[in-house]
Amino acid sequence: MAELVSQEMFLNMGPHHPSTHGVLRLIVQTDGEIMRRAVPDVGYLHRGIEKIAERVTYQGFMPYTDRIDYVSAFSGNLGYALTVERLAGIEVPEKAEYLRVIAAELARMGSHFIGFGAVLLDLGAVTPFVHALRERETYNDLMEMLCGARLTHNYARIGGVSHDLPEGFKEKTLKFIDHLEYEFIDEFNNLISFNSILVKRFANVGVVSAEKAIEYTLVGPNLRGSGVQFDLRRDDPYSIYDRFDFEIPVGKGKFGTVGDCYDRYWIRIQEIRESCRIIRQALEQMPEKGEIRTKIPKVFKPPKGEIYVRTECPRGEMGFYLISDGGKSPYRLKIRTGSFSAMSILEELSQGVMVADLVAIIGSFDIVAPEIDR
């Protein structure tokens, strides 16, 4: 009888695979169900957004920032607008700042609905995903009221925002926030967050220690999930975030080790509450009347110079590094995104876990493929 030969299996997970959250390829080496290593292969969604920036005007680049991370389009808008404004020294009217904060926090919630919804979908729980999408639908409606678009908002402008608050928006938003704070989150937690199967799948899986998270430059909820309390909204305030009172949830190892998948998941659920708080305060403090946009010249040429501005996006820190040579379009624009750094730690985390855990780990980092590649 011939001797049985056993060898490790190479699997191509992606570029089209249900749980790669876009177009992402992982070259997976497995020994049966056990993972030896998974090497991410990025670049399938590269659209050359940074290069495009060098060929369009400063104002004309705004719609492209929607597409950096289309799950929370406004976050990209805001980061880019802030960068150009700081470079050119443009003052933004008070009311526009409030509108920006409201839109940015709505975008954060909308993104987290997809974020924790999709990871639950990866674990086979379809219903919580649909429940989360139901809430995102309301977010879409609100953004549609605000700027007319449901996915790619293109709401911010250099010097302000495009539209003033529409009638009935305030009431509808408050109702939505109430629904989230008092109904949805508790209901959702009872349905799935405290489900013992989910806890078994998430707790102690994909543990990232605080040092490791900093080494790999994890940002945003992924960093806070490892217990590092760092949030640009508080630590390096931009816009008017220093006027609001909110907490920064960090991972405490609720059901397992600090920095496991459950912590990263739980952070996102808690951040919804904090976003609700910020929106409620912003709606209260916002002036009734006021300019929403500083006029900038049609042919807009910021002064020569370079600047780096970072904002806290749902997927962590998004930085715009802009070099201007005084022309009509940027000389160079580099965009730094949170999902990219989350990809780099994947290879180390995937060693020795099960195939099913890899799916949970990818999902818990809330990776959006277009944000990796730009």
Partner 1 sequence: MHNLASIIQSILKELFGSSPSLDLLYTFLGYLVPCLTVVTVIGMIGGILTLMERKVAGAIQNRLGPNRVGPYGSLQWIADAIKLHLKEDIIPALADKNLFRLAPYIVFVGTVLTGLVIPFGGSFIVVDLNVGLIFLIVAVSLVVIGLLMSGWASNNKWALLGGIRSAAQIVSYEIPSALALLTVILITGSFSMQKIVAEQGLFPWQWFIFYNPFTFIAFFIFGIASLAELNRVPFDFPEAESELVSGYNVEYSSMRFGFFFAAEFGNIFVTASIATAVFLGGGNIGLDPYESGIGYQLLMVLVFFAKAIPLCFVSLWVRWTLPRLRIDQMMSMCWKYLIPISFVCLTCTALWMLVFNGNGIFWRMSG
Residues that bind partner 1 (CB under 8 A): 9, 11, 17-19, 32-33, 120-127, 130-131, 134, 191-192, 195, 197-198, 200-201, 354-357, 359
Question: How far, in Å, CA of 56 to CA of 330, rounded?
Answer: 8
Q: Which two tokens stand for residue 62?
A: 């705004």
Q: With respect to partner 1, which residue has the nearer C-beta, 25 or 157? A: 25
Which one, 189 or 285, has the nearer CB to partner 1? 189
CB of 96 to partner 1, least distance (A): 36
What is the rounded distance in angstroms from the CA atom of residue 115 to the CA atom of residue 269? 10
- Shortest approach of partner 1 to residue 206 CB, angstroms? 13
Q: Please identify, using beta-carbon distances, which residue of 20 and 324 lies nearer to partner 1.
A: 20
Task: Give the residues across from 25 on adjacent strands.
Answer: 41
Instruction: State which residue, 201 or 374, has the beta carbon closest to partner 1.
Output: 201
Least CB distance to partner 1 at residue 32 (A): 8
Nearest to 102 by CA among 171, 183, 170, 179: 170
CB 183 to partner 1: min, Å = 13
Report, in Å, the least distance between residue 22 CB and partner 1.
Answer: 14
| Smallest distance, partner 1 to C-beta of residue 191, A | 8
Neighbours of 89 (CB within 10 A): 8
Residue placing its CB nearer to partner 1 in the complex, 43 or 124: 124
Whether the bond between 15 and the residue before it is cis, its omega within 30 degrees of 0, is yes
Closer Cβ to partner 1, 126 or 303, answer by number = 126
Least distance to partner 1, CB of residue 260, Å: 14
Q: How far is CA 255 from CA 164, 269, 338, 340, 355, in A?
A: 44, 15, 25, 27, 22
The number of residues in the chain equals 374
Q: Where are the alpha helices (DSSP H) in the chain?
A: 49-53, 62-66, 73-88, 94-122, 126-147, 169-178, 185-188, 196-202, 210-215, 220-225, 232-235, 261-285, 338-344, 346-349, 355-364, 369-373
How far from each other are the two terminal CA atoms of the chain, in whole angstroms?
A: 55
Largest CA distance in the chain: 87
**Beta 34-41 vs 305-313: how paired, if at all?**
unpaired
Beta carbon nearer to partner 1, 102 or 125: 125
CB closer to partner 1 out of 203 and 214: 203
Residue 35 or 219: which CB sits closer to partner 1?
35
Here the tokens at position 30 are 């497995």
Q: How far apart are CA 132 and CA 127, in angstroms?
A: 9
- Tell me the angle at which helices 126-147 and 94-122 cross, rounded to the nearest 10 degrees: 160
CB of 14 to partner 1, least distance (A): 10
We find the least distance from the C-beta atom of residue 198 to partner 1, in angstroms, to be 5
CA distance 160 to 328: 19
